[in-house]
Amino acid sequence: MAREFGSVGVVGLGTMGAGIVEVFARSGLSVTAVEISDAALHRGESTMRGSLDRAVAKGKLSAEGRDALLERVTFAVGLDALGDVDLVIEAVPEHLDLKQRIFAELDKVCKPEAILATNTSSLSVTEISVATGRPNQVIGMHFFNPAPIMKLVEVVRTVVTSQDVVTDIEALCERLGKVDVTITDRAGFIANALLFGYLNQAVSMVEAKYATREDIDAAMKLGCGLPMGPLALMDLIGLDTAYEILDTMYRRGGRDRRHAPVPLIKQMVTAGLLGRKSGRGFYTYEKPGSPVVVADELTPSSTAEHGRPTNIAKVGVVGSGTMATGIIEVFAKAGFEVVSVTRGAEKSAKVCERLKTSLNKGVVRGKLTEQDRDAAIGRVTWSASLDHLSDVDLVVEAVVEELSVKKALFASLDEICKPGVVLATTTSSLPVIECAVATERPADVVGLHFFNPAPVMGLVEVVRTIRTSDATVQTAAAVCRALAKHAVVCADRSGFVVNALLFPYLNDAVKMVEASYSTADDIDYAMKLGCGYPMGPFELLDVVGLDVSLAIQRELYLELREPGFAPAPLLEHLVTAGYLGRKVSRGFRDYSKR
């Protein structure tokens, strides 16, 4: 039987500590909340009261419930107030020497049977535990911010943590209404180890001026459904905190360059650009602590035209797959004349049938009138010959992801299409420049990477090569606006924005399972509940297809030659075994029995 905790103590009443106090008090536990000074104690109490008052204002807590909750909390200065509690959770800043001093003092103050827990997100729980005479009773309890809302707690056991202590803390998490994942003491645990490599890489894109901050954040929100873009999230976390976490993970985690803090982060910290808390980070805020972003010198102007591009009326789409069909639908619904070219009448008939099925679904769901459906279908001309693209204004290629096929197609388009036509490829991973130099008009070639399903997804990556003209980029962006899509402009580098950030994160998750650090289920829970991701990495890998994921990861590694990008052997083995994900009913999970 797990022990019953009657009282708990919380050391440190910053945003996280105050949130943890609230979590325990909401569950009916008596809490002693401790700070170093009266001023710090007052700030912590104000933070907690503010959170409770907002809950009352939103109708999520009654005034009586708030008052009863506050009665369960005792605020005190100094660790001596914790002599009788059953559990102490430390939530002070991420400095090892500070935490070790606190745990050494707690060891003297607390009763012998008390469990001592740290909320560290990146430091070694083992190194903290050895500052006490009871390392077997020390454990990590990593809550996520905001603690009253986020469901996940990472329970971190060291090599000497007693199994009884682990069992007791797991039961306590259940009582708190939290989902726990129990893991061993490794740099970054699950969530931060996966999250901060991704955040660090996003900063490197800004540092290299590969894409703007707005475009990077929009790409990950619209392309992956994430609740926040990586740079806005860095500002929320605090750049100083992010730097400390990355630096710790780099030093503790085998010096993986993915976690070596990008120099720009240290420069911004030194300059006092810490994010929301200082009023300026990657974005500028209304005032320190405010979430309201205001325009600054880096904010793009809003002078871009939002009408239809006057030089684009007729569009050719080459291809017969799902993506080609979706792109045809997008253009036809937006009022463009479309010429669909496939490799034969039979394939054209299949594309036509899929298009009608999709449009009919729109009618059934009330998103499209029958008149609009019929008009869209009427705008499409079906062909099996590239020669019918001789009078179009834009060609969008959506054929198989094989460079030789695409290059041959672009060479043919160069001969057939009239001068000034924009030639676009929808490749998700291949170099756009390779398609461009297959023509005599590389300035007119651009990437238009739609996301699947094209009629639903709001993002298009506009990829410019070193030969693409400004006029071509502007026309491509204007076309996206006419399609009601959000265009993000980036340079021609493997993975562009979304895949370059997404797939190394997925690969890192596979490496965790490969190393037997955690299970696919726990990692998925950690990223969904701890970071608010719509899908866990293994759910997403199985949906995308392990073969597709492996191909993209290989392209990233071959271009960037970053050791951390090398495809995980486990991913390669699963693909070799034919476990490709949902499409074959077996990937990281077996779907045949579901």
Residue 500 has pLDDT above 90, yes or no: yes
| Least reliable range by pLDDT among 97-106, 181-190, 230-239, 472-481 | 181-190
* pLDDT at 534 (0 to 100): 93
Confidence of residue 554 (pLDDT cuts 50, 70, 90): very high
Sign of CA dihedral 293, 295, 300, 306: positive
* Closest CA relative to residue 559, chosen from 508, 509, 470, 491: 491
> Quick check: is 42 catalytic?
no
Catalytic residue among 129, 142, 244, 429: 142
Residue 523 has pLDDT above 80, yes or no: yes
* pLDDT at 561 (0 to 100): 85
Catalytic residue among 154, 214, 397, 539: 154
Residue 413 has pLDDT above 60, yes or no: yes
Q: Quick: pLDDT tens for 360-386.
A: 999 999 999 999 999 999 999 999 999
Q: Quick: pLDDT tens for 188-200.
A: 889 999 999 999 9
Q: Quick: pLDDT tens for 118-146.
A: 999 889 999 999 999 999 999 999 999 88
Residue 593 has pLDDT above 90, yes or no: no
> Quick check: is 573 catalytic?
no
Confidence of residue 289 (pLDDT cuts 50, 70, 90): confident
* pLDDT at 44 (0 to 100): 92
Asked whether the whole model's pTM tops 0.85, one would answer yes
* pLDDT at 431 (0 to 100): 92
How far, in whole angstroms, is CA 66 from its chain's centroid?
34
> Quick check: is 200 catalytic?
no
* pLDDT at 564 (0 to 100): 83
E strand map for 426-553:
445-450, 459-464, 486-491
Mean pLDDT for 527-555 is 93
**Mean pLDDT computed over every residue of the chain:** 93
Catalytic residue among 121, 124, 320, 507: 121
Mean pLDDT for 492-504 is 93
> Quick check: is 46 catalytic?
no
* pLDDT at 146 (0 to 100): 87
Residue 187 has pLDDT above 90, yes or no: no
E strand map for 434-546:
445-450, 459-464, 486-491
Residue with tokens 């509690």: 85
Three-state helix/strand/coil letters over 113-164: CCEEEECCCCCCHHHHHCCCCCHHHEEEEEECCCCCCCCEEEEEECCCCCHH
Mean pLDDT for 472-482 is 94
Percent share of the chain, pLDDT over 70: 99
Mean pLDDT for 509-532 is 94
* pLDDT at 3 (0 to 100): 87
Q: Quick: pLDDT tens for 50-63.
A: 999 999 999 998 99
The answer to whether 32 and 76 are in contact (CB under 8 A) is yes
Residue 292, judged by CB atoms within 10 A of its CB (0-12, 13-18, 19+), counts as exposed
Catalytic residue among 192, 320, 340, 429: 192
* pLDDT at 307 (0 to 100): 63
The answer to whether 321 and 402 are in contact (CB under 8 A) is no
* pLDDT at 304 (0 to 100): 54
Sign of CA dihedral 378, 379, 382, 383: positive
